Structure formats: C-alpha cells, structure tokens
Amino acid sequence: MARTRGAANQSLYRSRIALSAWDQARDEERNPDAQLTATFLPAVQLHLKQAYGWVLLAVSGKETADWSELPQTTAELAAPDAGKSVPPELREFSILESEGWLGEMLAPWEEPGAQRALSASAGLLTSDRAAPGYALAEQWVRRLNAMMDRMDD
C-alpha cells in the first residue's frame, strides 16, 4: 500500500502549498477575505479530498489505477472480501463523515452569500456548520495529517 500512502502524502502536501499561498495572500492584505476564501478554499478542499480518498484505499487494502476512481467516502468503498471484517479505522471514518469534521471537509463548498440567501429564504438564522475560511481549512489539514500519522503508528 506504499503507492496509495505516497499519493495521500502528495495530496496532503499540495493542500499545504495552497494553504501557505492563501496565508501569504492574507498577509498582503490586498484582497478581501471573502475573495481569498473563494479562491483558495476549493483548492485546499480538493487536495484534502484526494488525500482522504487515497487514505480510504490504503486502509481498505485496495489499489486503484487513477485519480478518477478515488472514493470520497467510506460508503463508496467496496465491501470487504468474504471472511474479512471492516477495519476499525473505516468505522471511525464513517462516523466522522456523518457527525464530525470529515463531513464538513467533504461537503461541497458554497459561496457565503448563497448560504445566507438560502438560510434567509428557509427562515433560518443560524447554521451549525463552521464558517468557511482559512482557520477551518488549516484545521482540516492538521486533522487529516494527524489521522495519517496515526495510521503510521
């Protein structure tokens, strides 16, 4: 599974590059935060989703030929071979996808204005999702990195 792990590391590295560029752009203070978020968050999220897909393959013991076949969630993985059980990591990931930070990371990103308009039309005043932005993306990178480090132990 060295190939899948290497690909996961490469995708995580790319997310860090995008996050670093975002941080530099924030320091320059030439563009509004909303525009920087719209520019960088989808890129960071794309690389994190790819890294997670490779992690899923590594944990499940599957290999794939190309990026287009990467699973995005545990539900997209093939069932274990006969006589084998689902690895405990995949059960944990499934819970985090439905009730935790992985679900946030995997959710499609929407422009904040679109979210406010949708909430207002539905009569909602608040959302339980964290506001998208640099801090949230940085948290996703740290958490996925920690998850991958834990897998190495």
Q: Where are the beta strands (DSSP E) in 1-152?
A: none
> Tens digits of per-residue pLDDT, 8-25?
999 999 999 999 999 999
Give the Cα separation of 3 and 139 in Å (integer). 26
133: Cα separation from own chain's centroid: 14
Most confident of 62-71, 78-87, 138-147: 138-147
- The pLDDT score that the predictor gives to residue 97 is 97
Q: How many CB atoms lie within 10 A of CB 146?
A: 10
> Tens digits of per-residue pLDDT, 25-48?
999 999 999 999 999 999 999 999
- The pLDDT score that the predictor gives to residue 105 is 96
- The pLDDT score that the predictor gives to residue 93 is 97
- Report which DSSP code applies to 33: H
- The pLDDT score that the predictor gives to residue 113 is 62
